[in-house]
Chains A and B, each alone.
Chain A
Amino acid sequence: MTGLPHDSATELISANPAPSEALLPPNGERTGNSGPCVCATLRTSLPCDLSSVSAARLELRGFLQQHGVRREEISACELALAEACNNAIQNATTDGQRRSVDRPCDLHPFQS
């Protein structure tokens, strides 16, 4: 993966990497009660530093674009990720500042 500082780690786990269709269930089909179905997961780990949030955000954007997520939803996800990371970093304890910030992102099939 590119875009993250050298001491960051990003792991993409994709069970179904096909774009667009990956998030859409077959007609009338639901995932049932067996728990949420995860199409793909992006695990991002970034240093406890505000300057690293932008790269993590861009990594998320690329991941969501790859999976056919709509632009408006990508913007909302980017904002949520950035605000969560900012809060975690700005309010980290002294001990926490030495740790990384880990943000998993799971994609689930669309359910109406």
Chain B
Amino acid sequence: MTKAEYNISELDVNAPPWRYNPSSWRQRIPICLLAGIAFLIASYMALYQWRLIGDVWDPVFGEQSRQVLDSDVSEQMRRWFRIPDSALGALAYLGDLVFGLAGSTRRWQYRPWLVLLFGLDVIPLGIVSAVLVVMQGTVVGAWCFLCIVTAVISLLLVALAYDEVWSTLLYLKRVWAKTRKSNVVWNVFWGRASRDANEVALVA
């Protein structure tokens, strides 16, 4: 313990506008677990797209999964990103996991940049994932069971994660409303301490 150590009760406070702490481990661990599952599924599909395995498991749509993973849409994405789209998806889910684990249980106040980075990874990813699944049906004309599973997980992650991101945005807005100084908001965003920010942090 260093001289300036926090204890847990000081960190675990309710973040306005919620009556709970969206940065608590109880809130974050389920997100990390779900992201971890999606990471494994997407990695498995990436192994197929890299042809490190010869087939992909699909209990519902059978060989349609392979049509989706080998489709023109998928090939176009590979041309853009140089790596298979499911590998990119796997990295994005891993990002959700890593950014979900980083930060204290009061990170919505102390590390806004990290929470917003986490939100940027979770929320647009969820939307992209859902759009890609819709494109399977409309453009490719085939469905891929595991892709649908990961898309559902993506949307669940959005539902689980948005509260923390919202707390952070409202907190930054309160800091701006109190100080009207963009440099203060900038410093608070990057996790520098501020007396003004601390005063408005818990005021709903």
Whether chain B is bound by chain A comes out as no
Q: Which of B's residues lie within 8 Å of A, judged by CB? A: none
Interface residues of A (CB under 8 A from B): none
